[in-house]
Amino acid sequence: MVDHHEFYRDKRVLITGGMGFLGSHLAIELVGAGAEVSVLDAMIPIFGGNEFNLEPVHDRVRTRVGDIRDAELVEEMVEGQDLLFHIGMQTSHVDSMTDPLWDVDINCRGTMNVYEAVRRHAPECHVIYAGTRGQYGVLRSSPVTEEHPMSPTDIYGVNKVAAEQYGFVYGRAHGLRFSSLRVSNTYGPRHQMKHGKYGILNWFLRLAMDDATISLFGDGAQKRDYNFVDDVTEAFLLCGARPESTVGEAFHLGGGRPSTLRSATEMVITAAGSGRYELTPWPGERKAIEAGDFVADHSKFSQATGWRPRVEMEEGLARTVEYYRRHKQHYW
Amino acid sequence: MVDHHEFYRDKRVLITGGMGFLGSHLAIELVGAGAEVSVLDAMIPIFGGNEFNLEPVHDRVRTRVGDIRDAELVEEMVEGQDLLFHIGMQTSHVDSMTDPLWDVDINCRGTMNVYEAVRRHAPECHVIYAGTRGQYGVLRSSPVTEEHPMSPTDIYGVNKVAAEQYGFVYGRAHGLRFSSLRVSNTYGPRHQMKHGKYGILNWFLRLAMDDATISLFGDGAQKRDYNFVDDVTEAFLLCGARPESTVGEAFHLGGGRPSTLRSATEMVITAAGSGRYELTPWPGERKAIEAGDFVADHSKFSQATGWRPRVEMEEGLARTVEYYRRHKQHYW
């Protein structure tokens, strides 16, 4: 990784969802770079929050268990921050369909609380929003660029678009310094391993490590662009450290080497050294929200920040297996 | 207008916002066409709800004062309906910026209640959603088509996009029969005349009728596409009556003869026979959310339904002035 001391030393940084997958990686790197890190995490059981994720820096991070829907708490946490990584949101496609009002409540109302708090209490703070490939919906052209229309296939995707657009509206109207980084399929250490509602590759890895059978829907031929979490963490750090080229902009990441879900699953099984897979028909409720192939052209972000994905899947998967072998009791 | 008896006779139709501007026009036409009309309206003071709007049909419409945020009430009203015109939403660009959470609450959460109720209690019901030109934001190409990207300039626009997209997501996932009709600037009788937060032409008409001075921001050269309310009402009725070509689709309307705000204002003053205008600098908070020119290509909707705008501005304005002269005490 780039040495981030120069930019982040003594910077005050808040991470929503900071005990989760991506949030905890960011917290660890930021502490390493000399930043003063605060974490707000709702620790909603089904989400990815896990105290153990912050274990390496637990005494150097100010953590607070609380919800972005609590406007007063958000104001208190936001005050005086230089950067804010907004990652703590509802993340399950499937749950957004069974409980859409819950998704609206967290992802729309909660996010609005975050931006309002910044506008009122930290107007110079740079907000970096974790967007998602789900904002695009079914691709009309591939590889996708940031100009692609956004027609999500599920409520989660719709609200992630809205929450991103609130940020750009606040940028134009109130001068909010806002960037969005739409992430694709990310995998790696510190992801929750208890269910497969999101983070498909990590879930498959758990099944393989348990020597269980992985069910692939359909023919498993849908293409995906995977990123190892270290590359994504680096992308967020660069996005925050290069405001002159990232404020007011939306970007997406991509792995540079898309593969079918089937071949990714085969790599997972190889990395785990156990497990198997079978092809099964699509369940109706999944098929209805399936967005199909996703391959991303990440050149806009690379040009803006110099970022490129560095960790190949074989290596990323091996490091992930090793992590969970060592720390299984905290994740299984 | 087309004779709508053939399609609407004995149809059960619910209109949210049915005591407001467009909603009341729809209710009156639908009663005339033999439909069984129910109206749900929150009668929030700043909105356009006005009992007098329904005066011509008050004994032939089931009206209920209540809010789409009340999920139980929405369920009760939705049950058994054949069509639902969803028009009752927060409509002020400016208020969405000063109280964004209120806009989220009504337009996102309230709308979700509507679709959820349809999904559970009236799965065959055709929902026609009143979208807005505000969904597009600043136009990158003109005249705009329905494929134009949606980058709204205010929170109102963002949430109108979200509320529309919920409908299409429900269409794919749950079979919701959903259409969206994005309306441009509409004017005519039955619009609220108490403030200028939306419905600019009606507001200018009030100022002119009061022999007051109309302030145009900037040079007044921004182009707009105006529709007389009878044409818009006809469009909604056609959208409901032609499900074979409208379900699953988004359309917009347009006047076919765009004019600058300045020349529209001159027509308003001529129609009123009084008033004057002046040019004043943009207030900052308005400039920040101003979307600039808006000219729409309505050919997609015309091809689907045969609709075209029929009422020229001179005639529409004259009819509007006449209405308010007669019924001033109910609107001033």
The single residue listed with the structure tokens 């905890």 is A24
Of A151, A162, A289, the CB nearest to B173: A289
Question: CB–CB of B169 and A152 under 8 A?
Answer: yes
Check residue B287 and give its pLDDT.
83
Which one of A73-87, A133-147, B251-265 scores highest in mean pLDDT?
A: A73-87
Check residue B255 and give its pLDDT.
87
Q: How many CB atoms are located within 10 Å of the residue A52 CB? A: 14
Q: Provide the pLDDT confidence category of residue B276 given band limits of 50, 70 and 90.
A: very high
- Measured CA distances, A245 to A29, A232, B288 (Å): 22, 18, 22
In the predicted structure, residue B227 carries a pLDDT above the cut 90: yes
Using a CB-CB cut-off of 8 Å, the residues of chain A touching B109 are 101, 104-105, 109
DSSP line for A197-261: SS-HHHHHHHHHHTT-EEEEETTS--EE-EEEHHHHHHHHHHHHH-HHHHTT-EEE---SS-EEH
Domain ranges of chain B: 5-195+227-256+296-311
CATH class of A5-190+227-257+295-311: alpha beta
Note whether A96 contacts B: Cβ–Cβ < 8 A.
no
Q: What is the ipTM for the molecules in this complex? A: 0.94
- What is the mean predicted confidence (pLDDT) over A202-208? 97
Q: Best interface-test mutation with A: which of B68, B108, B146 has the largest number of A CBs within 10 A? A: B108
- What is the mean predicted confidence (pLDDT) over A180-184? 95
Q: Provide the pLDDT confidence category of residue B1 given band limits of 50, 70 and 90.
A: low
Question: CB–CB of A153 and B162 under 8 A?
Answer: no
Q: Provide the pLDDT confidence category of residue A261 given band limits of 50, 70 and 90.
A: very high
- Which tokens in the block code for residue B129? 């959603």
Residues 118-177 of A with CB under 8 A from B: 147, 149-155, 157-159, 161-162, 165-166, 168-169, 172-174
> Residue A71: closest CA among chain B residues belongs to which residue?
B101
In the predicted structure, residue B147 carries a pLDDT above the cut 70: yes
Distance of alpha carbon A329 from alpha carbon A327, whole angstroms: 6
Q: Best interface-test mutation with B: which of A119, A158, A159, A161 has the largest number of B CBs within 10 A? A: A158
CA distance B315 to chain A (A): 37
CATH class of B5-195+227-256+296-311: alpha beta
In the predicted structure, residue A218 carries a pLDDT above the cut 70: yes
Distance of alpha carbon A295 from alpha carbon A19, whole angstroms: 29
In the predicted structure, residue B278 carries a pLDDT above the cut 90: yes
Q: Provide the pLDDT confidence category of residue A273 given band limits of 50, 70 and 90.
A: very high
Question: CB–CB of A173 and B161 under 8 A?
Answer: no
In the predicted structure, residue A2 carries a pLDDT above the cut 80: no
Average pLDDT, chain A: 95
Using a CB-CB cut-off of 8 Å, the residues of chain B touching A157 are 169
Inter-residue contact B154 to B306 (CB < 8 Å): no
Using a CB-CB cut-off of 8 Å, the residues of chain A touching B154 are 169, 173
SS3 B64: strand
Q: Which amino acid makes up residue A310?
A: R
Exposure letters A158-179 (e unless 16+ CB within 10 A, then b): bbbbbbbbbbbbbbbbbebbbb
Beta strands B61-65 and B83-86, pairing class: unpaired
- Measured CA distances, A305 to A22, A167, A244, A312 (Å): 19, 21, 10, 20
* Predicted model pTM: 0.95
Check residue B49 and give its pLDDT.
96
Partnered with residue A177 across adjacent β-strands are A126
Check residue A1 and give its pLDDT.
59
Question: CB–CB of B169 and A289 under 8 A?
Answer: yes
- B55 CB-near residues (< 8 Å, 6+ apart): none
Check residue B107 and give its pLDDT.
98
Check residue B286 and give its pLDDT.
80
- Which tokens in the block code for residue B119? 């999904």
Inter-residue contact B121 to B78 (CB < 8 Å): yes
Check residue A292 and give its pLDDT.
84
- Measured CA distances, A87 to A23, A31, A157 (Å): 7, 17, 15
Distance of alpha carbon A212 from alpha carbon A210, whole angstroms: 5
Residue among B96, B129, B136, B95 nearest B112 (CA): B129
- Strands (E) across chain A are located at 12-16, 36-41, 61-65, 83-86, 126-132, 177-183, 185-187, 213-217, 223-224, 226-228, 250-252, 259-260, 276-280
Question: CB–CB of A158 and B172 under 8 A?
Answer: no
Check residue B62 and give its pLDDT.
97
In the predicted structure, residue A3 carries a pLDDT above the cut 90: no
Question: CB–CB of A169 and B150 under 8 A?
Answer: no
Inter-residue contact B240 to B85 (CB < 8 Å): yes
Average pLDDT, chain B: 95
Q: Best interface-test mutation with B: which of A68, A69, A72, A104 has the largest number of B CBs within 10 A? A: A104
